[in-house]
Amino acid sequence: MTLLYIYILWVAACVDSISADSHITVSARVGSTVVLPCNLRNVFTKTPRVRWHNDVGFVFERSSGGTQIDPGYEGRVDIPENELRKGNCSLVLKNVRITDDGAYRSFVVEYVDRTNTDKMQDISRVKLSVDAFQISAQVGSTVLLPCEWSDLPIQTPHVEWYIDSETVFERKGKESFQGEGYEGRVDVPEDELLKGICSLVLKNVSATDAAVYRSSMVVTHTKKSVLVQKVELSVYENPEKREEEPSGEAGINWPHLLIFILSLFMCFLFSR
C-alpha cells in the first residue's frame, strides 16, 4: 500500500505540474483520515487565505484571521497552519464518512489574493471516493455493522439496513421489521438509535450473510432517505481459514513499481 500511495502522490504531483485543471481522485475508507492535496507553490510570511468547497457548499477556510468550518465538518477538517505557510494547502479530513463521497464529489480550493480580495483562484480539484467499511466475522459470531447519524437533521430516527433492494432491518421508534432470513438475528436497539447510533447488531453470522450492507436514514424536512453507511461484510469459517490481508508493505509489488517507473518517465517527458 505504501508504494501505491507514493506513486499516486507522484502521479498527482506530476499531473499537477502539467495542468492546474487536472482532477485528482483520492479514495478513502469510512473512518479513515485522508489528505486532499493542494499546493500554492509559494512560501508565505503571513498565513494566506485558503478556502475549500465541495459541490454542495462551503467546507473550511483558514486565513490570518483564523478558521471557519461548516458544521457538518466540525472537528474533522484542517489545513495545518505551519504547512499552509510553506504553501501546502492540503485539506486533512478525519473520520471520513460515506456522506463525504456523494458520488465523486469535487472539492475545490480557492486562494484569495491579499492584494485583490475579490479574486478567487482555483488551485486544486480533488474527487473523493469513499469505499465501503470492511468487516469480517466468523460463522456463528455476533457482529456489529457500525453506523452513526448524529450529524444529520433528524427528529424521529427512522433507519433502514438493506442489501441491494432487500430490507434486512428497519426501525422507526418502537416499530421494527426484520427481513426474511434475518428473523431473530438483527437489531438496532431503540435507545442506541435515539443516541445517534444506527449500528446493526447481527447475531449468529452465517456464510450466506456475506454482502454489502447499506443503511439509510429518513431526513425530517425532506422525508427522503440519505445513505449513511456502506459496510462490506465477509464471513470466514474459523480463524485459520481467515483470509490474509494483502501484504503490500513487505516485498516489492512489481506491477506497482512498473507503473511508478512509467509515470516518472511520462512526467519527465511531458514536463519538458
Ligand X SMILES: *[C@@H]1O[C@H](CO)[C@@H](O)[C@H](O)[C@H]1NC(C)=O
Q: By CB under 6 A, tell whether 92 contacts ligand X.
A: yes
Q: By CB under 6 A, tell whether 83 contacts ligand X.
A: yes
How many C-beta atoms lie closer than 10 Å to residue 193's C-beta?
22
Cα(225)–Cα(240) distance, integer angstroms: 40
- Pick the binder of ligand X from 68, 80, 134, 258 (CB under 6 A): 80
Q: By CB under 6 A, tell whether 234 contacts ligand X.
A: no
- Which range of residues in 61-69, 88-96, 108-116, 152-160 is near ligand X by CB under 6 A? 88-96
CB 79 to ligand X: min, Å: 7
HSE-CB for 192 with a 13 A CA cutoff: 14
Residues in region 198-217 near ligand X by CB under 6 A: 204, 206
Cα(87)–Cα(1) distance, integer angstroms: 27
CB 201 to ligand X: min, Å: 14
- Pick the binder of ligand X from 3, 20, 26, 35 (CB under 6 A): 35
Nearest to 233 by CA among 259, 206, 255: 206
Q: By CB under 6 A, tell whether 135 contacts ligand X.
A: no
Choice between 23 and 203, CB closer to ligand X: 203
Choice between 17 and 220, CB closer to ligand X: 17
Q: By CB under 6 A, tell whether 67 contacts ligand X.
A: no
Q: By CB under 6 A, tell whether 90 contacts ligand X.
A: yes
Radius of gyration over every alpha carbon of the chain, rounded to an integer in angstroms = 22
Choice between 22 and 142, CB closer to ligand X: 142
Cα(18)–Cα(187) distance, integer angstroms: 52
Long-range contacts of 257-263 (CB under 8 A, 24+ apart): 257/3, 259/7, 260/3, 260/6, 260/7, 260/10, 263/7, 263/10, 263/11, 263/14
Contact 235, 137 (CB under 8 A): yes
What is the contact surface with ligand X in residues (CB under 6 A)? 35, 80, 83, 88, 90, 92, 204, 206
